[in-house]
A = this chain, B = another copy of it.
Amino acid sequence: MPNLEKGMVQVYTGNGKGKTSAAFGLALRAIGRGLKVYIIQFIKGGFDYGELYVVDKLPNLTLKPFGRGKFVTEKPPKENDIKLAEEALTLAEEVVKGGEYDIVILDEINVALNLKLIKTERVVELIKKKPKHVELVLTGRYAPKEIIEAADLVTEMREIKHPYNKGFQARRGIEF
């Protein structure tokens, strides 16, 4: 198994486009090298995303979406959203601890943290106790400062220009 010698903790956050895409692109590169990748999707699981239709064609890539088919935004959060996020985090803990996967991507986990669906301390604990060879990737807006402190590599996707006021609508195949 072509393990990484040293796995790091990467965070992709910010209000700009490309956080989830960057994580999927990273997954693509990794499986090209024979690494094993596990993607767990918080919040938006169940929603209809284009990438879901191509994952089956790729070797060594497992994707598990959690969610109820739409973005969660309520504060305070609903019981069911908390339950789903906790299930996702429990799976994340198992997959990371198991050490079988070289890269574990926790997509939109920062949003789940921001909405207080799961506890930040539990994710910081996961980061600190991960096996050395596992690369952990956390995406989503609003990464809490405790996560940024615990991470090795943090990138902010900053929106410089966006066509909101030109009647912009999410497009099938691009935005979802």
The chain A residues found within 8 Å of chain B, CB to CB, are 2, 4-6, 8, 10-14, 16-26, 28-35, 49-55, 57-59, 102-103, 135, 148, 151-163, 166, 171-174, 176
Q: In the complex, are the beta carbons of B155 and A159 less than 8 A apart?
A: yes
Residue in B22, B155, B163 whose beta carbon sits within 8 Å of that of A153 in the complex = B163
Q: List 29 A-B contacts (CB under 8 A).
A: A2-B173, A4-B174, A6-B171, A8-B174, A11-B160, A16-B156, A17-B155, A18-B22, A18-B25, A22-B157, A24-B29, A25-B28, A28-B28, A28-B54, A29-B49, A30-B174, A31-B50, A32-B50, A32-B51, A32-B52, A32-B54, A152-B161, A152-B166, A153-B163, A154-B160, A154-B161, A155-B159, A156-B157, A157-B158
**A interface, by DSSP: helix, strand, loop or mixed?**
mixed
Minimum distance in angstroms from A175 CB to a CB of chain B: 9
Minimum distance in angstroms from A104 CB to a CB of chain B: 13
CA A21 to CA B22, docked complex, whole Å = 5
CA A30 to CA B54, docked complex, whole Å = 9
CA A52 to CA B57, docked complex, whole Å = 16
